[in-house]
Amino acid sequence: MMQHSSTNNGILHVENACQRTPSLPATSEVSTGTLLTKSSYELSKRCFDIAGASLALLFLSPLFLAIALCTIGSSGSAFFKHRRVGRQGKIFNCIKFRTMIPNAEEVLESLLNNNLDLRKEWLRDQKLRSDPRITRLGRFLRRTSLDELPQLWNVLCGEMSLVGPRPVVPDELGRYGSKVTTFLSARPGITGLWQISGRSDLDYRRRIALDVCYARSRRLSLDIYIIFMTFPAIFARSGAY
In a domain, 71, yes or no: yes
119 within a domain of the structure (yes/no): no
Looking at the domain assignment, is residue 125 inside a domain? no
Q: Along the 241 residues of the chain, how does pLDDT read in single tens digits?
A: 444 433 333 333 444 545 554 444 444 444 444 455 778 888 999 999 999 999 999 999 999 999 988 887 655 678 889 899 999 999 999 999 988 888 778 888 888 888 788 888 877 777 777 788 888 888 899 888 899 999 999 999 999 999 999 999 998 899 899 999 999 999 999 999 988 887 767 888 888 999 999 999 878 899 999 999 998 888 876 655 5
In a domain, 30, yes or no: no
Q: Give ∠ CA 137-140-145 in degrees, rounded to 5.
A: 120
130 φψ region: left (φ > 0), alpha (ψ -120 to 50), beta (else)? beta
pTM listed for this prediction: 0.78
In the chain, the number of structural domains is: 1
Instruction: Give the separation between CA 49 and CA 57, rounded to whole angstroms.
Output: 12
Residue 48 lies in a domain: yes
Domain assignment of residue 221, given as a range: 9-21+36-99+134-236
